[in-house]
Amino acid sequence: MNTFPIIPKPYSMSPIPGVFRFSGHTRIIARDGLEPIGVYLKEVIQSIAGLSLDVSSAEMKPPSAGTILLTLMGENQVLGREGYQLEISNNEIVIRAPHPSGVFYSIQTLRQLMQASHRDQQLSEGGDCLIPAVKIEDRPRFRWRGMHLDVARHMYPIDFIKRFIDLMALHKLNTFHWHLTDDQGWRIEIKKYPGLTEIGSRRKATPIPANRQVSDGIPYKGFYTQDQVREIVDYATRRFVTVIPEIELPGHVLAALASYPELGCTGGSYQVATSWGVFEDVFCAGNEKVYEFLEDVLNEVIELFPAGYIHIGGDEVPKDRWNHCQKCQSMIEKQGLKNAAELQSYFIKRIAAFLSTRRRRIIGWDETLEGGLAADATVMVWRDASYGVQAARMGHDVIMCPTEYCYFDTYQAQDQEREPPAIGGFLPLEKVYAFEPIPDELNPDQTKHILGGQGNIWTEYIPTPEGVEYMAFPRATALAEVLWSPQEVKDYKDFCQRLRGFLRHLDGLGVHYRDPFAVKTLRGVGLHNSL
């Protein structure tokens, strides 16, 4: 190979003479409690080369040629928690890392090398597979490398959620932001409030792509049980992906209000939204029953998601209902607030304080900055990078996902007539690759608050798993390199050269990606109901 077709590009790579030969005699030695990852590696090798290898926790005596050694190396400040060293020589492959996550990420690099060699050389005599010798030292630039998926507008089978997590892991992405509730549907079982799924998970119809206000007349329903959620979280954990749930509040809550009308300012009647947009009806910020309800809901959510964060939304909250609600006005007076904007701040700070008692921190969209925010809250920036600058200067941690670089439900080509319906706007692969999460305006101390970034997929026009893949990849591939690789090694032409080989890897996995080098036929991809 003239180049190592690895994405994200590693921190450093040094070719050395020789090749390593995979064969039926190759053995995997997994020390330091790494046997489960050794079994995962065995499955990867079997899927690529058709070889079923033995996995052991002990060295072979005498040592055998063709050994793959997985081992921990102790704390290493240079590599950090997720870095690794991968050395491939004639006789062995040695993977060292300070933490099991680094061992796992090294396997993603190894599988790409194997897949490229297998594709280019096919199998050698005797069913062996050869890969070039190389030394790689690698570590991520950012610790938050995420993908968001909205399942409130359209939801997807458990098997696809697992597949999506697998594709994230292949890209060394480590955070799955699961958007579970919105105006158009409540998708998570809450045992204390069965109405949320009996009523809130169902809508009478879905807007057609041509006109947001015209419905198809087809009922839509579905939610994930708590057992299914646990299954997903466990699956992701074994792939070093953290699952962050989003439970929207105080706006985007029509599905909850349809289930429990007493939680709104007017008392109803409400229905699960059958159109897209921002709606005036929100949780009543002056009603103590709302806070009791949300604490009960979040208590169950916390039990399902061990991650240290809960995303609470906080975006696009109209204030009209609050301005005309006697309970909300009484709360403003009681708390000594100036207006409805400060009432929103009070609402979010109160939820943050509750979650703090349960050892959780909130993440909110950048609107949560309005009126003030809890000191330990994290801000997720979607509107404009300037909000990230503001949040970081205030001392808040920041996750960058501005629309112009990170919204993968937007069009991919300027010739929009050839593209399926999308939210709007134009986000080509090259622009995603040009994304820089750290704004120039920040000084070194402030840049420490930039945790990383993520790609967001809102699913108003994406009813099928194939459609999600088409909109995500390879834009998520470009974003993965932005978030993992050193800024100084980024080069779009080089990325495209490696991407051509990487796409063949996605072919082998059956991914319905958009080929930027030869756009696929759109029929059958399933991005909206009329395809």
Q: Is the pLDDT of residue 208 over 70?
A: yes
pLDDT at residue 205 is higher than 70:
yes
Instruction: State pLDDT tens for residues 477-498.
Output: 999 999 999 999 999 999 999 9
Continuous segment of H or E residues that includes residue 214: strand 211-215
Q: Which residues contact 221 (CB under 8 A, 6 or more apart)?
A: 201, 202, 203
What residues are annotated to the active site?
182, 252, 316
Mean pLDDT of 184-197: 98
| pLDDT recorded at residue 457 | 98
Residue 307 CB partners (closer than 8 Å, separation 6+) = 242, 243, 244
Distance CA(370)–CA(394), nearest Å, equals: 12
CA–CA dist 346, 339 (Å, integer): 11
Are residues 382 and 456 in contact, defined by beta-carbon separation less than 8 angstroms?
A: yes
Amino acid at 61: K
Q: Are 74 and 98 in contact (CB under 8 A)?
A: yes
Calpha distance 341→479 (Å, rounded): 34
Peptide bond into 62 cis (omega under 30): yes
pLDDT value at residue 420: 72
344-363 average pLDDT score: 97
Cis preceding linkage at 474, omega within 30: yes
Whether residue 117 is preceded by a cis peptide bond, meaning omega within 30 degrees of 0, is no
Determine contact, residues 379/451, Cβ cutoff 8 Å: no
Domains of the chain: 12-138 (3.30.379.10), 144-508 (3.20.20.80)
Contact between 322 and 328 under an 8 Å Cβ cutoff? The reply is: yes
CA 73 to chain CA centroid, Å, is 29
Length of the chain: 531
DSSP codes joined into one string, 368-406: GGTT---TT-EEEE-S-HHHHHHHHHTT-EEEE--HHHH
* Torsion of Cα atoms, 422 then 425 then 427 then 432, to 10°: -110
Q: How far apart are CA 322 and CA 315, in angstroms?
A: 16
Place of tokens 């697998």: 166
Torsion 454-459-461-463 (CA) sign: positive
pLDDT level of residue 371 (50, 70, 90 thresholds): confident
Give the mean model confidence (pLDDT) for residues 396-416: 91
In this predicted structure, which of 196-205, 209-218, 455-464, 504-513 has the lowest mean pLDDT?
209-218
Q: Is it the case that residue 438 has pLDDT exceeding 70?
A: yes
Other Cβ atoms closer than 10 A to 219:
11
CB of 180 closer than 8 Å to CB of 297: no
pLDDT band at 423 (very low <50, low <70, confident <90, very high): confident
| 24-67 pLDDT, tens digit each | 889 999 999 999 999 999 999 999 989 999 999 876 555 566 89
Over the stretch 232-290, which tens digit does the pLDDT of each residue have?
999 999 999 999 999 999 999 999 999 999 999 999 899 999 999 999 999 999 999 99
CA distance 91 to 94: 10
- Among 510, 502, 526, residue whose Cα is nearest residue 8: 502
What span, in angstroms and rounded, lies between the C-alpha atoms of 105 and 86?
Answer: 10
Quick check: 408 and 456 in contact, CB under 8 A?
yes
What's the token pair of residue 425? 């706007």
Q: Where are the beta strands (DSSP E) in 306-389?
A: 309-313, 361-365, 378-381
Q: Which residues contact 171 (CB under 8 A, 6 or more apart)?
A: 7, 8, 108, 476, 477, 480
Whole-model pTM: value is 0.95
Contact 284, 264 (CB under 8 A): yes
pLDDT tens digits along 114-170: 988 766 555 444 456 899 999 999 999 999 999 999 999 999 999 999 999 999 999
d(CA 205, CA 270): 15
Residue type, 225: T
Distance CA 425, CA 440 (A): 25
Please give the average per-residue pLDDT across 321-342, as a whole number: 97
